[in-house]
């Protein structure tokens, strides 16, 4: 019910603001307020029973240009023939100090669940710094480094790495290397955006994680765009019955509001 309520809220925000989207907002933008929200779904009954719900809510507030808050939350629910396949929520929250500069510090906290990977609840938080090595009207590229503390509650006590067997909670420190960028090409008719990060675990055994997102934003009319995005995730340590990687391709329509 909590997940359904989340979709209703995100869907209502998308209707009221007319701004469903998937691409990331930019914390370095000088706009005082940015908001994107979207909800999509599919339902089928008959020879195949299918239910898919996706939601996304993203905002950036920049009231005093010193501290900027950015939040990105998305969720996914899928069931096939009555069997649940996904029931996930992912919330990423940042506080930046003067992100309009070339180098700026930040603090962050992530909250996650992942049904497919048997992650009942995960949180990690920490701090780091970002270097914007390209900052132009039609392109932006940045790298970040941070240190975070992570705690994950799993739905099993058996792992592909025997060091963790017998305990459903894994806690450790992680270093993080992050790359992000976007480029407007073809006379602003197409926007390419991407993010990638690698998180080696600082534990007695190797425990790394990586993710890559690549997408295209094609403007259609007055802020309305078509979006396509590919996502790849990898976790080195997983429960015994779970694969280490997932690949997801999504597409849809977006509209951005900026003030």
Could you read off the pLDDT tens digit of each residue along the chain, which spans 259 residues? 444 444 433 333 333 333 333 455 667 666 678 887 777 788 888 888 889 888 888 888 887 678 899 999 989 899 988 888 888 999 999 999 988 899 999 999 999 999 989 999 999 999 999 999 998 889 999 999 999 999 999 999 999 999 999 999 999 999 999 999 999 888 878 889 999 999 999 999 999 999 999 998 887 776 677 888 899 999 999 999 899 999 988 887 766 666 6
CA atoms within 13 A on the CB side of 119: 23
Per-residue pLDDT at 111: 96
Residue 185 pairs in a beta bridge with 190
- The set of residues, in sequence order, having a beta carbon less than 8 Å from that of 251 and lying 6+ positions away, is 226, 227, 228, 229
Measure CA of the first residue to CA of the last residue in the chain; give whole Å. Answer: 33
Per-residue pLDDT at 3: 44
Per-residue pLDDT at 137: 86
Residues 91/111, Cβ–Cβ less than 8 Å: yes
Per-residue pLDDT at 29: 65
Per-residue pLDDT at 218: 81
- The set of residues, in sequence order, having a beta carbon less than 8 Å from that of 200 and lying 6+ positions away, is 174, 175, 206, 207, 208
Token pair for residue 4?
A: 């359904």
3-state SS assignment for residue 216? strand
Instruction: Domains for the chain: give ranges and CATH numbers.
Output: 2-258 (2.40.160.40)
pTM of the model: 0.77
């Amino acid at each position: 019910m909590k997940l359904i309520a989340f979709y209703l809220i995100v869907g209502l925000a998308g209707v009221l603001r007319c701004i469903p989207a998937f691409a990331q907002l930019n914390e370095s933008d000088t706009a005082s307020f940015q908001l994107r929200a979207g909800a999509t779904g599919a339902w089928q009954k008959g020879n195949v029973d299918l239910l898919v719900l996706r939601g996304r809510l993203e905002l950036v507030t920049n009231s005093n240009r010193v501290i900027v808050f950015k939040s990105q939350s998305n969720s996914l629910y899928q069931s096939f023939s009555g069997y649940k396949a996904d029931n996930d929520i992912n919330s990423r929250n940042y506080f930046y100090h003067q992100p309009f500069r070339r180098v700026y510090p930040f603090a962050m906290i992530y909250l996650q669940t992942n049904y497919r990977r048997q992650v009942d609840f995960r949180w990690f938080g920490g701090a780091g710094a970002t270097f914007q090595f390209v900052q132009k009207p039609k392109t932006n590229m940045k790298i970040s480094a941070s240190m975070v503390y992570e705690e994950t509650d799993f739905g099993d006590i058996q792992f592909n790495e025997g060091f963790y067997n017998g305990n459903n909670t894994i806690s450790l420190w992680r270093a993080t290397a992050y790359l992000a960028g976007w480029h407007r090409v073809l006379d602003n008719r197409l926007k390419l955006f991407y993010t990638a990060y690698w998180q080696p675990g600082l534990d007695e055994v190797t425990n790394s994680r990586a993710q890559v997102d690549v997408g295209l934003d094609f403007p259609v009319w007055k802020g309305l765009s078509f979006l396509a995005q590919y996502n790849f995730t990898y976790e080195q340590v997983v429960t015994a019955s779970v694969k280490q990687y997932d690949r997801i391709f999504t597409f849809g329509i977006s509209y951005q509001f900026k003030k």
